[in-house]
Amino acid sequence: MNAKILLLPGDGIGPEVTVEARRLIDAVAEIHGLDFQIEEALIGGAALDETGDPLPADTLARCREADAVILGAVGGPKWDDPDARKRPEQGLLDLRKELGLFANLRPVRLHPSLADISPLKAEHIRNVDLMVVRELTGGSYFGKKKLSEDTASDDYTYSRDEIERVVRLAANMARNRYGRVTMIDKANVLATSRLWRKVSAEVMEKSFPDVAYETMLVDAAAMHIVANPSRFNVIVTENMFGDILTDEASVLVGSMGMLPSASLGEGTKGLYEPIHGSAPDIAGRGLANPFGMLASVGMMFEYSLGMREVARQIELAIWNAVSSGERTLDIGGNLRTDEAADAVISHLDDIHTKKVAFI
């Protein structure tokens, strides 16, 4: 395989965890005799500082040419001027839209040994293993915006096609998991949610009669995610609800630093990033948890490069590192960022050498 992978380190701790992503990709290449073409480009605040644009034309062109894109993080207090015409986050939003990445996948799976560091009771979270599928290019984040001294508005729009494609993706994922989809909306108030409820019901009834389907209001979902999270299998929802609920769900596993994500479109090209932000308070100190980024690399091997076994090996390597107590500060350990990545790469080599099975 000769895949082209583009790294976008971004801001804050982004460059620190992206370095570890590259080391993991290089380790996989060496173990399996693969050849990857790896390049870097600017995005976010770093791009604003150098080019005046959070998504330079050169970066977008290189993203289009790549088989997969790895992103660190964007933003930080340096660029937090609310009156700024361009902000780092706009680079990420534009990238998702330009690449047609309409679905964000965020798996939430609890490692048993981390149950004690979660703020929730262990008995409530022991069996958590869910996937959130968030629509990524519609809704209020991309609607026309108006702001005056006394009023503001954000257009909130969805089309049938936008809803159908992400619901189909979620239902297909459910077929490979436990066969259950929960669609989350606010249909008692929002017209867009009523369209979501109508279209998703039609899709599920016509094309996925074998998949159990339910709807839930977003306020009830926010409660159940912390009170009874194991009731969920695959969640599908609109852009803003998905953004908020996945950050809420991150507390189930003890740290946002543990969770990966994949943003996908119609083809195999994808954008892979940990769900955490740029964490400027710890940037440059070697304290960032790299596991979410390394797990994102695993998702890249599965969804963009079609190497499911490699993805499983990476997941198991992270699992074994955590089980062995090789952890960063945020999850009860004392390893630095590079040391935690070292542990994962070492376990990956052991898994390949000893042919350890994934459980």
Out of 243, 269, 303, 330, the active site residue is 243
pLDDT in tens, 321-351: 999 999 999 999 999 999 999 999 999 998 8
What pLDDT is recorded for position 119?
78
Average pLDDT, the chain: 93
2 pLDDT exceeds 60? Answer: yes
Q: Which of 80, 161, 219, 350 is catalytic?
A: 219
In this prediction, residue 44 carries a pLDDT of 97
pLDDT at 85 > cutoff 90: no
Catalytic option among 53, 67, 141, 272: 141
Please report the pLDDT score of residue 359 as a whole number: 45
pLDDT-derived band at 121 (thresholds 50, 70, 90) equals confident
Topology of 119-253 in CATH?
Isopropylmalate Dehydrogenase (3.40.718)
**pLDDT at res. 110:** 85
CATH topology of domain 1-104+278-359: Isopropylmalate Dehydrogenase (3.40.718)
Sketch the domain layout of the chain as residue ranges: 1-104+278-359, 119-253
Region 115-139: mean pLDDT is 85
Strands, E, within the chain: which ranges?
Answer: 2-10, 35-40, 68-73, 103-109, 129-135, 145-147, 152-154, 180-185, 212-217, 234-237, 262-264, 270-272
Go through 265-298 and write b for each residue having 16 or more CB atoms within 10 A of its CB, e for each that does not: beeebbbbbbbbbbbbebbeebbbbbbbbbbbbb
Q: Do the domains at 1-104+278-359 and 119-253 have one common CATH topology?
A: yes
Q: How would you classify the pairing of strands 262-264 and 270-272?
A: antiparallel
- pLDDT confidence of residue 112: 84
219 is catalytic: yes
Is 58 catalytic? The answer is no
Give the pLDDT score at 356.
55
Cα–Cα distance for residue pair 73/64, rounded to 1 Å: 19
What is the share, in percent, of the chain residues with pLDDT greater than 70?
99
Across 165-204, b (16+ Cβ under 10 Å) vs e yields: bbbbbbbebbeeeeebbbbbbbbeebebbebbbebbeebb
**306-323 confidence digits (pLDDT tens):** 999 999 999 999 999 999
Distances (CA, A) of 31 to 22, 24, 304, 346: 14, 10, 19, 11
Burial class of residue 51 in the structure, from the number of CB atoms within 10 Å of its CB (0-12 exposed, 13-18 middle, 19+ buried): middle
Selecting among 49, 154, 247, 338, the annotated active-site residue is 247
Of the candidates 53, 67, 156, 186, the residue annotated as catalytic is 186
User: Does residue 151 register a pLDDT over 70?
Assistant: yes
Mean pLDDT of 123-148: 88
Beta bridge partners of 152: 147
Active site residue 186: yes
Q: What is the pLDDT of residues 283-309, one digit of tens each?
A: 999 999 999 999 999 999 999 999 999
78 is catalytic: no
